[in-house]
Amino acid sequence: MQTQAAVKMEAAGQGPGRFGWVGLMALAGAVSASGPVLPMLLEGFEPFLAILVAPILVGLVLLRFARKVGIVWLGVVSLALLVMNAPFTVDALMHPESPADFVPITMLTVGGLIAVIATVPAFRSAQGRRHDTAFPKVAAVAGIAVVVAAIGGSLAAWATVTNDSPADGSLIVDMESFEFGPRDITAQNGEVSLYITNNDSARHTFTVDELGVDESIAPGQSKQITFDAEAGSFRFYCKPHDPGMEGKLTVQ
């Protein structure tokens, strides 16, 4: 005959051979946290990414030592991150050719969605309310499959990226360490021709709102861009890394 503690553990998916809602919450948190951690492992510490991952790690610790609190914490944090990152998420998911952006944001999104969905049933399971269902296992397998497919698909898309040859008279612009080089570009009015190379592991854009210019440059890619401009001063910037990654185009 099972003890009351054993029944509660089994209901929460902690019994031998069981994978329940609480286990799904833990997996979701681990997948979400891995998204911001991966770029830091490859490129070094980044404060913004650390801010993203810190509350998820807190939730995983709480899940271990204060299960109900951890479940609620992870659910709320996951929902907040999904909402807060929505604009960047949509943009990043449209560009699988940039694995450094596409894969982490996919992991953060998949883990966040699973955590939000699992919050209520996981909390009920932690209270000892047994509810047999295959959904946690199915969701775990599906989530991992999506992440694996995202990695493979992104690497394949990156492999198909091609480089342009510079046109005669093009101004050379480099993107490196999340900065434009040079930051100040001077060109003659009429047709402006730029040859831009992205030396970073993340995708950048060369965007000039006033001129209707918005070019995406994949990691390691060199792209020739041409547009018309009248005399004046214009701000150019990178959409995913604005503010900070910007410069001034002066057309004489």
Residue 28: name the closest of 151, 152, 135 by CA.
135
Q: Kindly report the CATH number assigned to the domain that includes residue 221.
A: 2.60.40.420
Which two tokens mark 134?
Answer: 């295959």
In a shared domain, residues 119 and 39? yes
Helix, strand, or coil here: 65?
Answer: helix
Q: What is the DSSP string of 158-200?
A: HHT---PPPPTTPEEEEEETTEEESSEEEE-SEEEEEEEEE-S
Q: What is the pLDDT of residues 126-174, one digit of tens each?
A: 888 766 788 999 999 999 999 999 999 999 999 999 999 999 889 999 9
Out of 159, 180, 213, a domain closes at 159
Residues 6 or more apart whose CB falls under 8 angstroms from that of 80 comprise none
In a shared domain, residues 63 and 143? yes
Q: Per-residue pLDDT for 42 more than 90?
A: no
How many whole angstroms separate alpha carbon 173 and alpha carbon 117?
45
Do residues 111 and 32 lie in contact, with contact meaning Cβ atoms separated by under 8 Å? yes
Residue 164 in any domain: the answer is no
**pTM of this structure:** 0.81
Question: Angle at the Cα of 75 (from 72 to 80), degrees rounded to 5?
Answer: 125
Which two tokens mark 199?
Answer: 């030396």
In a shared domain, residues 195 and 108? no
How many whole angstroms separate alpha carbon 191 and alpha carbon 8?
71
Out of 159, 182, 197, a domain closes at 159
In a shared domain, residues 59 and 151? yes
Give the domain extent around 126: 4-159
Residue 166 in any domain: the answer is no
Pairing of strands 204-208, 171-176: unpaired
In a shared domain, residues 177 and 150? no
In a shared domain, residues 89 and 8? yes
Neighbours of 45 (CB within 10 A): 8
In a shared domain, residues 220 and 140? no
The number of folded domains in the chain is 2
In a shared domain, residues 134 and 228? no
Mean pLDDT of 53-81: 96
In a shared domain, residues 177 and 63? no
Residue 119 in any domain: the answer is yes
How many whole angstroms separate alpha carbon 56 and alpha carbon 111?
10
The side-by-side arrangement of strands in the sheet containing 222-229 is 179-181, 171-176, 190-198, 222-229
Sort 87 into a burial class: Cβ within 10 Å, 0-12 / 13-18 / 19+: exposed
Question: Angle at the Cα of 75 (from 115 to 18), degrees rounded to 5?
Answer: 45
Out of 110, 136, 159, a domain closes at 159
In a shared domain, residues 80 and 36? yes
Q: What is the pLDDT of residues 118-128, one digit of tens each?
A: 999 999 988 88
Residue 165 in any domain: the answer is no
Q: What is the pLDDT of residues 70-110, one digit of tens each?
A: 999 999 999 999 999 898 899 888 999 999 889 999 999 99
